[in-house]
């Protein structure tokens, strides 16, 4: 297998990770930031799941006639991560809603501006 | 999937971004099926594409509309993101290649789980066996996290109603 094909899954992961990171840093809107965080999270799912795959294998459910299975451990870890991820997303959104109530905006720079001038 | 992500970066209407995020989650679930992670794909489709979208739409209803345009060009974040990406891509060259059966991930505890879990737990689905049996405390911790997050959300939104 050539180097490109062998590492393609990592590069897809990296692209998603960087896109998430970029949204997270460059965008001032808190909702958009949370979505960027979500993209980053899904890239991590891929980072864990992709190395567990074996070509010619099947899902890790033991049955007669199959001998090769993909690795079950990353699947377990990522199941936990997905559920925890949605919990943190819910908490982040709740905080965003509260910020919106207190400041009237969810744009980062406007919030900082209001903090500086002491106006609520 | 890359197209969806790029559209998400560029789109400023937050409603479109939420819908794109939902589409992206379904695509991710499809990729996970292709990678033989059926349990994860099911969870991602239900939780990532379903529950997250509902939560985002609800929050969007409460916070409203579109994203403001930033004044300065986001050159520093772009440069930083590309730099991090370059370093990680360089690092990825040292990782084992895709579907290498001799990679450390396939030679550590996984063979034992695959070989002994039916005998020890009686569950043919190895993912369930590991999740509920071998790593049961992990799952207990997960439920504590979810409970804490739920309690936090309730605390935040109840204060709001009292304040009015």
User: Stretch B38-66: mean pLDDT, rounded?
Assistant: 82
The residue ranking higher by pLDDT, B119 or B28, is B28
* ipTM score assigned to the predicted complex: 0.78
Query: Which residues of chain B neighbour A58 with C-beta distances below 8 Å?
Result: 36
> Half-sphere exposure (CA, 13 Å, Cβ side) for A26?
23
Which of helix, strand or coil describes residue B68? Answer: coil
Torsion angle, alpha carbons of A72, A75, A80, A85, to 10:
170
List pLDDT tens digits, range A16-33: 888 888 888 887 788 888
> CB B156 to CB A29 under 8 A?
no
> CB A69 to CB B126 under 8 A?
yes
Residue B164 pLDDT grade (very low, low, confident, very high; cuts 50, 70, 90): very low
Total domain count for chain A?
1
Interface check for A37 against chain B (CB to CB < 8 A): the answer is no
Query: Which residues of chain A neighbour B159 with C-beta distances below 8 Å?
Result: 98
The structure tokens 């033989």 sit at: B36
- How many residues are present in chain B? 164
Q: Domain boundaries in chain B?
A: 1-66, 102-164
Query: Which residues of chain A neighbour B51 with C-beta distances below 8 Å?
Result: 86
**CATH number of the domain bearing residue A63:** 1.10.287.3510
Domain extent, residue A52, equals 3-117
C-alpha distances out from residue B38 to A71, B98, B104, B127, B132, Å: 12, 19, 22, 10, 17
Query: So what's the pLDDT on residue B159?
Result: 67
């Amino acid at each position: 297998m050539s180097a490109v094909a062998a590492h393609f899954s990592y590069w897809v992961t990296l692209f998603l990770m960087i896109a998430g990171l970029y949204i997270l840093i460059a965008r001032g809107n808190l909702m958009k930031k949370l979505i960027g965080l979500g993209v980053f999270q899904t890239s991590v799912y891929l980072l864990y799941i992709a190395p567990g795959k074996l070509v010619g294998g099947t899902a890790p459910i033991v049955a007669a006639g199959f001998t090769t299975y993909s690795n079950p451990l990353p699947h377990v870890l990522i199941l936990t991560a997905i559920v925890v991820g949605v919990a943190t997303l819910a908490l982040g959104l709740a905080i965003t809603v509260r910020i919106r109530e207190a400041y009237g905006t969810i744009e980062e720079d406007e919030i900082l501006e209001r903090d500086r001038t002491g106006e609520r | 999937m890359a197209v969806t992500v790029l559209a998400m970066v560029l789109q400023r209407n937050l409603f479109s971004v939420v819908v794109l995020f939902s589409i992206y989650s379904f695509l991710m679930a499809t990729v996970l099926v292709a990678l033989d992670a059926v349990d994860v794909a099911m969870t991602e489709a239900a939780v990532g594409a379903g529950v997250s979208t509902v939560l985002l739409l609800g929050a969007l209803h409460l916070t409203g509309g579109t994203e403001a345009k930033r004044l300065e060009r986001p050159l520093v974040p772009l440069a930083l993101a590309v730099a991090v990406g370059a370093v990680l891509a360089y690092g990825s060259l040292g990782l084992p290649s895709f579907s290498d059966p001799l990679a450390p991930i396939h030679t550590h505890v996984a063979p034992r789980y695959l070989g002994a879990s039916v005998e020890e737990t009686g569950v043919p689905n190895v993912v369930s066996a590991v999740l509920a049996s071998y790593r049961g405390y992990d799952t207990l911790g997960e439920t504590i996290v979810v409970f804490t997050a739920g309690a936090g959300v309730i605390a935040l939104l109840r204060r709001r109603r009292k304040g009015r």
